[in-house]
Amino acid sequence: MQVDTTVNGTTRQDDVEDRLLLVHYLREVCGLRATNVGCDTTSCGACTVLLDGQSVKSCTVLAAQADGREVVTLEGLAGQDGALHPVQAAFRQEHGLQCGFCTPGMVMASVSLLTDHPEPSEQQVREGLEGNFCRCTGYHNIVQAVLAASGQVTR
Q: Which of residues 117-136 bind ligand FES (CB under 6 A)?
A: 134-136
How far apart, in Å, do the first and last CA atoms of the chain sit?
Answer: 51
Closest approach, Cβ 91 to ligand FES, in A, equals: 10
Among 6, 43, 93, 152, binds ligand FES (CB under 6 A): 43
Q: Which of residues 133-152 bind ligand FES (CB under 6 A)?
A: 134-137
CA distance 142 to 57: 19
Binding-site size, ligand FES (CB under 6 A): 23
Mask of contacts with ligand FES, 57-86, x by CB under 6 A? x-x---------------------------
CA distance 155 to 152: 9
Q: Which residues pair with 54 in a beta bridge?
A: 51
Give every CB contact of residue 15 below 8 A, 6+ residues apart in sequence. 1, 2
Query: Torsion-angle region of residue 125: left (phi > 0), alpha (psi -120 to 50) or beta?
Result: alpha
Q: Which of residues 22-41 bind ligand FES (CB under 6 A)?
A: 37-40
Return the number of the residue (42 or 54) whose C-beta is nearest ligand FES.
42
Return the number of the residue (59 or 129) whose C-beta is nearest ligand FES.
59
Q: Which of 22, 56, 39, 55 is nearest to 133 (CA)?
A: 39
Residues that bind ligand FES (CB under 6 A): 37-40, 42-47, 57, 59, 97-103, 134-137
